[in-house]
Amino acid sequence: MKTAKLYSFFILALIGCINTLNAQLDEKTETKITEIISKMTLDQKIGQLALRGTSSRTKVLPEQLKQDVRDGKVGAFLNVMKTDYVDELQTIAVKESALGIPLVFSRDVIHGFKTIFPIPLGLAASWDAETAKTSARVSAIEGSSFGVRWTFAPMLDIARDSRWGRIAESPGEDPYLASVLAKAYVEGFQTDNLADQTAMASCAKHFIGYGAAIGGRDYNTAIIHEPLLRNVYLKPFEAAIEAGAPTVMTSFNEVNGVPASGNKWLLSDVLRKEMNFNGFVVSDWDSVIEMIAHGYAADEKHAAELALNAGLDMEMTSKSYDNHVKALLKEGKVKEEQIDFLVRNILRIKFQLNLFEKPYRLKSHTGNLYAPEHLAKAKAAAIKSSVLLKNENNTLPLAATTKVAVIGPLADAPREQLGTWTFDGEKEHSVTPLQAFTDAKASFTFVKALTHSRDQSEKKFEAAVKAAEQSDVVVVFAGEEAILSGEAHSRANIDLPGAQEALIKAVAKTGKPVVLVIMAGRPITITNIIDDVDTVLMAWHPGTMAGPALYDIIYGKSEPQGRLPVTWPKTSGQLPLFYNHKNTGRPSSVESFVQMDDIPVGAWQSSLGNTTHYLDAGFTPHFPFGYGLGYTTFALSNLKLSKTELTKAETLEVTVSIKNTGDRAGEEVVQLYIQDKVGSLTRPVRELKRFKRVKLNKGETKTVSFSIAAKDLEFVNNTMKSVLESGEFNIYVGQHSASGLMATFTLK
Ligand code: GLC
């Protein structure tokens, strides 16, 4: 006992020393920054606030750009993707400018740099922090070799509407899953030492509520009840900042009438004061001057005044700060102390990146671009992210001898399989499903049938049908080209584009089993063809190693391990649609629902269910949040709570048994949800609070345990304070958000 006490004393003492040391280091840094600022001219201060955009396709380095660096007019660059340009610009900044303040080079390194991982919505489907962290780590190792030390990731916008193009980059609809991923991404990009030259400063974006745009229309208005903003949208940003994210990017949208880039309440009161953020805030592309279009700034100068006073440190691409700070200072509309405060935040992160000591790209660091271990990790991530939505008659996995008709526009689309936000990934390195089938010498015939996902021509369907007739199974690779999701690419109708549905129906008519593999940046509504296919595998845009990953899944070397990070709608008319919705006063139910076709002609007005639903689309999604099948089955039993009454100081222990009831080993994601049955604000019908991945051999049973502290039951109500309210709670432990064993406990 004495040893244990001694050990814990030693650990506490060590932590104390480290904290003191960090505090001293911080103090030393702040002193250095004070010294630098004291020597800076106003022009040099304004220069640090400028993030200059360039194009990775810039053929020459403009002399004016170099002169601006020499004059101290640039603090950071975006998209300088030629290493000799990076080296030249940094040399000018350090050796030729008056104060030698180093530049920081930035890039959107989102889900890979050269080796591309699944899109972030796919990585979210892995329900696995390690997978997300690995994607970020490999991205940073590869990207930092080009001198990139700041990435505009992770994107943490909660998304509840699959029409929104940027759902592809999002962590999905749930704040808990998004928070787990946020922490993992920050750790992966940064390691525990931001000074490491393979580390990248992360950037929690887009602050805030970008995913709540009305109608899923990108850049559109976000009206978010403040408790909802705090209970849902802020959560992943809190997690990222707690994990050490040193920068935050503002979103294009207005939040409740005030554009994020000029939102003092958001940037100063919430982000800096409440969330203790002490890094720097960067605008999104021209979002400062877009406040004019928003009708929030009268002109560019007013936009600069609003952003500066809101606490927006660095202006991306637009030049309102360059053009107007001096006048604003002279007119007393902005104080020089505020400018110094913004400069300090930027210099602090440059010190954390150790750029003053080591400003130059580490030339010996090659980044191991496309290294076998990077490709292997990208393949593993693609397997972990793939979600099996349907698998009638266990059509998958296929036996090696199966004769397969490989059909469809996404079977051999090296660029499309990389997905959105992959500027540096090269399609020449993509291994497509066709390539993987060929490499494996599988028994198959291939008919693309459509040139791309939007192709409307049915000219080649006959060849596809013939191939299907001559095969045992048809595997259709369909979905969206990469350009149909991502920024500015929202879709009102999210069915399969082009003639893909017709192609699926044509080959299904042969009577052969059809496996549909979807590559897309969002859930695709497949109600029109779900009965024509035996199996549906959602692969998202799986990245460089799509082919080998999907080959292994299709032939059973690996099982698909993903679970839905977003609710999958039957039709876009249901959107926004999410599992953690409110119950309403007239909750839908099977008993009360009357399907439109079942309504008698001339029915009396009040004869219908009078609950919340659609007459045509009902009230359930096609597949619920958290859903996904594997190649075996599991049974949960024996849900036990350590107590049924809990004080606010206690922790609840929850255990459940899970058995592999199938005929092969497999992995399940056991999910724990709570329902706060009565609150001073209405509460969601379910909220994800924990999840665990569990591997089980055939016939094996394990006990899975979770701990729920009272803090996990807190929420923000109309007082805008986090409250913990006594009352009854349901606990659901299951395999997705619409199932599970239930127990109840009371919080005293
Ligand atoms: C874009 C995006 C943002 C990105 C930035 C720089 O418009 O909204 O996510 O990081 O510009 O490319």
pLDDT digits (tens, 9 = 90+) for 351-369: 999 999 999 999 999 999 9
Query: Would you call the peptide bond into 154 cis, given omega within 30 degrees of 0 as the criterion?
Result: yes
Structure tokens at 301: 């100068």
Atom 11, ligand 1: residue with shortest CA distance: 285
Burial of 602 (0-12, 13-18, 19+ CB in 10 A): exposed
Helices (H), 400-554: 433-439, 461-469, 500-508, 546-554
DSSP conformational letter for 530? G
Q: What are phi and psi of 96, to 5 degrees?
A: -110, -15
Sorted by sequence, the CB contacts under 8 Å of residue 60 that are 6+ apart come out as none
Q: In 3D, which of 630, 617, 710 has the Cα closest to residue 664?
A: 630
The helix or strand, by DSSP H or E, that contains position 21, with its residue range, turns out to be helix 2-39
pLDDT at residue 231 in the model: 98
Give 627-678 pLDDT, tens digit per residue.
999 999 999 999 999 999 999 999 999 999 999 999 999 999 999 999 999 9
Q: What per-residue confidence (pLDDT) applies to 54?
A: 77
Reading the block at residue 705, the tokens are 């345990």
How much distance in Å is there from the Cα of 417 to the middle of ligand 1?
21
Please name which of 726, 729, 628 lies closest in space to residue 684, comparing C-alpha atoms.
729
| Rounded-to-integer distance, Cα 581 and Cα 405, Å | 42
Q: Which residues contact 523 (CB under 8 A, 6 or more apart)?
A: 162, 494, 538, 564, 566, 567, 568, 569
Supply the pLDDT for residue 608: 75
Q: Is the CB of 623 under 6 A from ligand 1?
A: no
Q: Which residue's structure tokens are 């497509």?
A: 432
Q: In 456-545, where does DSSP find H-type helix?
A: 461-469, 500-508
pTM for the whole structure: 0.96
Among the atoms of ligand 1, which is closest to the Cα of residue 79?
A: 12
Ligand 1 centroid, distance to 481 Cα (angstroms) = 20
C-alpha to C-alpha distances, 527 to 389, 571, 598, 623, nearest whole angstrom: 13, 7, 19, 11
Cα separation values, 206 from 233, 247, 293, 428, 601, Å: 10, 11, 19, 31, 50
Instruction: Please choose, from the candidates 448, 435, 506, 443, the residue with its C-alpha nearest in 3D space to the C-alpha of residue 471.
Output: 443
Residue 597 among the catalytic residues:
no
Q: What is the pLDDT, as a whole number, of residue 13?
A: 75
Question: CB–CB of 159/109 below 8 Å?
Answer: no
What the block records as the tokens of 157 is 């916008």
Query: What b-and-e string marks burial along 14-31, b requiring 16 or more CB atoms within 10 Å of the CB?
Result: eeeeeeeeeeeeeeebee
How far is Cα of residue 551 from the mean position of the Cα atoms in its chain?
25
Query: 153 C-alpha to center of ligand 1: Å?
Result: 10
Identify how many contiguous H helices and E strands the chain contains and give both numbers. 19, 26
Among 68, 218, 284, 412, the one annotated catalytic: 284
| H/E segment holding residue 581 | none
Closest ligand 1 atom to residue 206 Cα is: 9
**Which residues of the chain, if any, have pLDDT below 50?**
none
- Strands 666-676, 687-696: pairing is antiparallel
Nearest-atom index, ligand 1, CA of 152: 10
| Helix or strand holding residue 183 (H, E) | helix 175-190
> What are the E-state strand segments in 61-158?
76-78, 104-107, 150-151
What CA–CA distance (Å, rounded) separates 127 from 161?
A: 20
Distance of CA 54 from the midpoint of ligand 1 (Å):
13
